[in-house]
């Protein structure tokens, strides 16, 4: 049976784009006469049903796709809602002054334009390189800094690296000081900046098995087998695992989206995803100061997802899901093995030795894992959702791949300001990776509230030992713009005042931060305006189906203010109703020599832990002996 969160099919994508194309001239009255529209489809995504609508209204009814249509020459953007069943246009909106994500196609053409530009050729030649085949040009979202070319044109910034051949790690050989700016409609190279020659770092950054010397010995086989198969069942996009149920979909912008997460039939999360992220760089040099990649909204984590390999990316009894992604031209492509599902042992869940009788009771934990990996230029991000036997939900982001680099004096023992030295003449700017999780909560039902809980010492107590918790109900959006505070164990409790546990308390889940970083750029800076979501660890908004991404739907080249700052300006009430939590977390990355030439995984994330959701430890019922267990 079909479900409203079913994965998109190639037919649906083709239909939605064809309907949008056919309707273009009917809906866009000011298209230049006599010119055939040159349309691209940067985003084709499921328009998810309004969670407040009754189930039969959005359940198995119409499949609505949202198509973002870009006219290449005029730059005009339209958002079109297509009912792919009928098929027909349901809604057509022209959106002036916005830029959809960068297109793979236009990025390729911008690179070609750069390599053909005499100013660029001269700048590269000044660093001793004359063969353009040995130059790697990386396109970057341009941002918006109020500069002369930030005038509404669709632009991309480009920076070059030297490579020995296409298999080389170009980030070892940055051509410091060169930045190109290309108009993506005309492919005119607007400007080539050369802030001065720095010698190209000579050392290889290759990291393949053939490049790194002798391979380490002594690793004996470590095999994970489940002779009776895994304990989960996947049916289409529905998953069941030991009491947990959920559905998953795949969005070209956000990547993996989880829906209708419940435990033993009790709802917890209606929707969960990484709805935006930004990687602001913190160095002032010409090649670096403007780097602020919104890898969700400017590129699309979904579009850049990669096929995973059994035994390498994923170990054990794996179930994969393929996904179909739009291809910008109205068609689609399949990414096989894009979503990985498996089960992992996770050590001890609980244990006690009763010393009076030498009785050892121990139960092992395990988790269900659903994940995908997206490669955005030099970086690779793995997004792993974990579900545990005690009701805990966790998101873990794995950050790996290759650092953004710069060239400096090869005799230097320190990097320039705002960065770390990696290798002779090679450095990496300090930067941040700030992720924003969108959590549409539904703890025991749709009407939830959030309390901030601080754990503090109490000065008023006679013996000086008292600990108290301070709970503050977050009543409106402005009050709910919060920073984490590890010193007082601050966490946020999502509660349902209509559902009570055996102790008579509202049932609840706790959002427990693990890496609550916020934006370090100065207030008033371009990036602080554009990534306002990243200035707070928590925002809470009343659920609204149009409020989907925390920096707005079109962050590419946006001057700022869209998304959370705009919505929360209304200071709407957030108590006892369907709400969305937006949690910003991440890493302030001070690169180490060990992060070169490819980074060992760094982790960031958070937990959602039951807190009075159950009446006692919900994992008492686990079987004691799953294998051979030694007696004390």
Query: Which positions are annotated as active-site residues?
Result: 295, 379
Give me the least distance between CB of 430 and Co ion, in Å please. Answer: 9
Nearer to Co ion, 418 or 489 (CB): 418
The tokens for 551 are 């920096």
Contact status: 558 vs Co ion (CB under 5 A): no
CB of 589 to Co ion, least distance (A): 3
Q: Buried (b) or exposed (e) across 373-410, using 16+ Cβ within 10 A?
A: bbebbbbbbbbbbbbbbebbbbbbbbbbbbbbbbbbee
What DSSP line would sit under 538-590, residue for residue? Answer: EEEEE--TT---TT-S--BT--S--SHHHHHTT--B-SSB-EEEEEEEEEEE-
Minimum CB separation of residue 204 from Co ion in Å reads 21
Alpha carbon 55 to its chain's center: 29
Minimum Å gap between C-beta 9 and Co ion is 36
Which sign, positive or negative, has the C-alpha torsion 623, 627, 631, 632?
Answer: negative
Distance CA 335, CA 324 (A): 6
Q: What is the nearest approach in angstroms of Co ion to the Cβ of residue 578? A: 35
The residue among 7 and 436 lying less far from Co ion, judged by its C-beta, is 436
- Smallest distance from the beta carbon of 118 to Co ion, in angstroms? 35
Q: Which residues pair with 587 in a beta bridge?
A: 433
Question: Count of H helices and E strands in the chain?
Answer: 7, 30
In whole angstroms, the minimum distance from the beta carbon of 590 to Co ion comes to 9
Which lies closer to Co ion via its Cβ, residue 366 or residue 589?
589
CB of 431 to Co ion, least distance (A): 6
Long-range CB pairs of 89-97, under 8 A, 24+ apart, other chains included: 89/19, 89/20, 89/23, 89/27, 90/64, 92/23, 92/27, 94/27, 94/28, 95/554, 97/152
- Spatial neighbors of 15 by CB under 8 A, at least 6 apart, are 82, 84, 87
118-125 helix and 104-115 helix, angle to the nearest 10 degrees: 70
**336-365 binders of Co ion (CB under 5 A):** none
Which residue is closest to Co ion by CB?
A: 589
Q: Is 208 left (phi over 0), alpha (psi -120 to 50) or beta?
A: beta
Applying the rule CB under 5 A, the residues between 568 and 627 that interact with Co ion are 589
Closest to 97 in 3D by CA, of 77, 79, 81: 77
Minimum CB–partner distance for residue 594 and Co ion (Å): 13
Residue 530 or residue 589: which is nearer to Co ion going by CB? 589
- The least CB distance from residue 304 to Co ion, in Å, is 17
* Bond from prior residue into 597 cis (ω within 30 degrees of 0): yes
Could you tell me which of 333, 247, 236 has the C-alpha nearest to residue 49? 247
Which of 372, 596 has the CB closer to Co ion?
596
Please, what's the largest Cα pairwise distance for the chain? 91
291 or 319: whose CB is closer to Co ion? 291
Beta strands in 327-425 (DSSP E): 332-354, 359-376, 379-388, 393-401, 406-407, 419-423
Of 20 and 604, nearer to Co ion (C-beta) is 604
> Looking only at residues 437 through 456 of this chain, which bind Co ion when binding is defined by CB under 5 A?
none
- Of 291 and 493, nearer to Co ion (C-beta) is 291
Length in residues, the chain: 632
Single out the residue of 305, 298, 297 nearest to residue 326, CA to CA: 305
Identity of the residue, 183 or 595, whose beta carbon is nearer to Co ion in the bound complex: 595
247 burial type by CB count under 10 A (0-12 exposed, 13-18 middle, 19+ buried): buried
- For residue 539, give the nearest of 511, 508, 507 by alpha carbon: 511
Number of residues that bind Co ion (CB under 5 A): 1
Hey, is 113 helix, strand or coil?
A: helix
Q: Which tokens go with 203? A: 């050392």
Q: Considering the complex, state which of residue 381 and residue 509 has its C-beta at the smaller distance from Co ion.
A: 381
- Integer Cα distance of 395 and 386 in angstroms: 6
Q: Which two tokens stand for residue 547?
A: 């409020």
> Which residues in this chain contact Co ion in the complex, by CB under 5 A?
589
């Amino acid at each position: 049976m079909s479900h409203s969160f079913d994965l998109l099919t190639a037919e649906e994508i083709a239909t939605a784009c064809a309907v949008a194309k056919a309707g273009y001239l009917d809906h866009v009255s000011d298209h230049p006469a006599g010119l055939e529209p040159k349309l691209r489809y940067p985003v084709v995504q499921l328009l998810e049903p309004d969670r407040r609508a009754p189930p039969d209204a959005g359940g198995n009814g119409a499949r609505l796709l949202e198509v973002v249509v870009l006219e290449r020459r005029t730059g005009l953007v339209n958002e079109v809602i297509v009912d792919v069943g009928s098929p027909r246009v349901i809604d057509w909106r022209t959106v002036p002054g916005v830029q959809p994500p960068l297109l793979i196609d236009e990025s390729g053409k911008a690179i070609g334009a750069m390599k053909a530009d005499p100013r660029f050729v001269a700048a590269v030649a000044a660093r001793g390189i004359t063969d353009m085949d040995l130059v790697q040009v990386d396109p970057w979202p341009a941002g918006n800094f109020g500069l002369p070319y930030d005038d509404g044109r669709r632009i991309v910034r480009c920076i070059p690296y030297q490579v020995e051949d296409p298999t080389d790690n170009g980030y070892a050989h940055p051509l410091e000081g060169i930045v190109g700016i290309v108009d993506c409609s005309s492919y005119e190279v607007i400007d080539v900046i050369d802030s001065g020659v720095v010698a190209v770092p000579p050392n290889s950054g290759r990291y393949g098995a053939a490049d790194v010397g002798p391979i380490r010995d002594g690793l004996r086989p470590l095999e994970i087998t489940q002779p009776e198969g895994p304990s989960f069942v996947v049916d289409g996009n529905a998953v069941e695992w030991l009491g947990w149920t959920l559905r998953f979909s795949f969005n070209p912008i956000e990547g993996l989206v989880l829906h209708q997460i419940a435990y033993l039939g009790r709802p917890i999360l209606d929707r969960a995803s990484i709805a935006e992220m930004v990687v602001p760089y913190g160095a002032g040099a010409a090649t670096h100061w403007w780097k602020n990649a919104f890898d969700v909204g400017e590129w699309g984590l979904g579009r850049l997802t990669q096929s995973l390999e059994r035994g390498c990316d994923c170990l054990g009894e794996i179930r994969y899901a393929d996904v179909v992604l739009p291809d910008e031209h109205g068609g689609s492509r399949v990414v096989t093995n894009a979503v990985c599902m498996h089960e992992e042992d996770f050590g001890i869940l609980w244990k006690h030795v009763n010393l009076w009788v030498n009785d050892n009771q121990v139960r092992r934990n395990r988790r269900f894992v659903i994940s995908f990996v997206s490669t955005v230029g030099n970086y690779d991000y793995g997004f792993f959702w974990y579900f545990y036997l005690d009701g805990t939900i966790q998101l873990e982001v794995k950050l790996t791949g290759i650092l953004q680099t710069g060239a400096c004096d090869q005799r230097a023992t320190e990097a320039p300001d705002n960065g770390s030295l990696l290798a002779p003449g090679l450095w990496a700017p300090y930067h941040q990776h700030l992720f924003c999780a969108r959590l549409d909560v539904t703890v025991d039902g749709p009407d939830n509230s959030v309390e901030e809980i601080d754990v503090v010492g109490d000065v008023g107590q006679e013996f000086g030992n008292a600990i108290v918790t301070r709970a503050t109900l977050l009543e409106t959006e402005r009050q709910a713009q919060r920073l984490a505070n590890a010193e007082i164990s601050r966490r946020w409790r999502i509660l349902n005042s209509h559902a009570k546990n055996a102790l008579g308390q509202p049932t609840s889940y706790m959002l427990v931060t693990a890496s609550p970083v916020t934006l370090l750029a100065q207030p008033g800076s371009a990036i602080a305006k554009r990534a306002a979501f990243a200035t707070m660890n928590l925002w809470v908004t009343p659920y609204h189906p149009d409020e989907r991404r925390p920096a707005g739907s079109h962050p590419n080249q946006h001057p700022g203010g869209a998304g959370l700052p705009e919505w929360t300006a209304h200071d709407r009430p957030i108590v006892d109703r369907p709400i969305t939590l937006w949690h910003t977390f991440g890493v302030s990355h001070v690169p180490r020599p060990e992060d070169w030439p490819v980074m060992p995984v760094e982790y960031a994330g958070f937990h959602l832990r039951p807190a009075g959701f159950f009446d006692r430890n919900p994992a008492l019922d686990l079987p004691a002996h799953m294998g051979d267990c030694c007696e004390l």
